[in-house]
Amino acid sequence: MTQLDHSADRFQAMRAAVDAPVLFGIYHTDREYAKEHGDPILGIVAASSKEEAESKAKAQGIDAVYGPWANPLTNAHHLAVYNQKVVVLDYVEKKQEFKWAAIRCADNMSSGTVGYVITPNGEQWLITRESRRAKRVWPSNT
């Protein structure tokens, strides 16, 4: 059985590699195995296609049973990414999605870890449990 690494360093390293708005979540290919283990997101990669994302995941050493499966993280709703999970905020009033995505991250993150809010237009915001503030990381604030 594959042991998942939930450390903040690994997740931050995966997240730091993302420098483009086309994001793919990497999951286990074996859906039954994934569901038995809470369907964790194993990593996030930026790529122009599903095939490229799966190739990058293998090259980065993202370990998945029977190989990685890439799923685009683009959505009409905000996404909360924390503790190797991606949650679509499609159940919240549209104008409240960012706020609730950030709250969901901050309230559910393990101590010492970080989370991200990804907006429908591709902006990526870093959320830390300690500060409970959002900092835009893509595109950069320059």
Distance separating alpha carbons of residues 98 and 134, to the nearest angstrom: 10
Q: 4-53: per-residue pLDDT in tens?
A: 444 445 555 455 444 444 778 888 888 788 788 877 778 888 788 889 98
| Phi–psi pair at 41, nearest 5 degrees | -85, 125
Tokens 């309230």 map to which residue? 107
- Type of residue at 90: D
Share of the chain residues as helix, strand and coil, in percent rounded to the nearest 5:
30, 25, 45
Its pTM stands at 0.59
Domain segments of the chain as ranges:
1-74, 75-142
Nearest Cα to Cα of residue 41 among 24, 55, 53: 24
